[in-house]
Amino acid sequence: MSKAAVIILAGTDGHANLGRLVNGLETAKEFAENDDEVELIFDGAGTQWIPELEAEESDYYDLYRAVRDDVAVCDFCSGAFGVDDAVNDAGVVRLDDHDGHPSIRSLVDDGYEVLTF
């Protein structure tokens, strides 16, 4: 069984960032479909995707919902990028184990392969 931490850092601006988001979601979905352990973390500007992906009219809503149970966000960055209310409304897990941010070291220490998009 594999262990993967997929971290979405790409913001919502531009076609290239949309590609990073979709590739990250597809990667997380592939791990989940194979009963691997997967953490899907939205960090930095990536936290801006939460309100968009939570909207049913989003083109990527179904893909996001396929991995929704594995989603977490950076607590600090959700505030810094102005999506606190959307994260709260979504009930997404917030990670703040290292100075308000997710602990990447803990993931590595727990045997996760860290993949960034």
Task: Give per-residue pLDDT as tens, 21-58.
Answer: 999 999 999 999 999 999 999 999 999 999 999 999 99
Q: What is the pLDDT of residue 114?
A: 98
Q: Which has the closest alpha carbon to 76: 42, 104, 116, 107?
A: 42
Q: What is the pLDDT of residue 83?
A: 98
Q: What percent of the chain stands above pLDDT 70?
A: 100
Q: What is the pLDDT of residue 112?
A: 98
Q: What is the pTM of this model?
A: 0.97
Rg for the chain, CA atoms, rounded: 13
Give all domains of the chain, ordered by start, each with its CATH number.
3-116 (3.40.1260.10)
Q: What is the pLDDT of residue 85?
A: 98
For 81-94, what is each residue's pLDDT tens digit?
999 999 999 999 99
Q: What is the pLDDT of residue 30?
A: 98
For 90-106, what is each residue's pLDDT tens digit?
999 999 999 999 999 99
* Nearest-10 Cα torsion for 15, 114, 104, 93: 60
Collapse the DSSP code of 32 into the 3-class scheme (helix H, G, I; strand E, B; otherwise coil) and give the result. Answer: helix
Q: How far apart are CA 86 and CA 113, in angstroms?
A: 28
- 72 neighbors 97 (Cβ within 8 angstroms): no
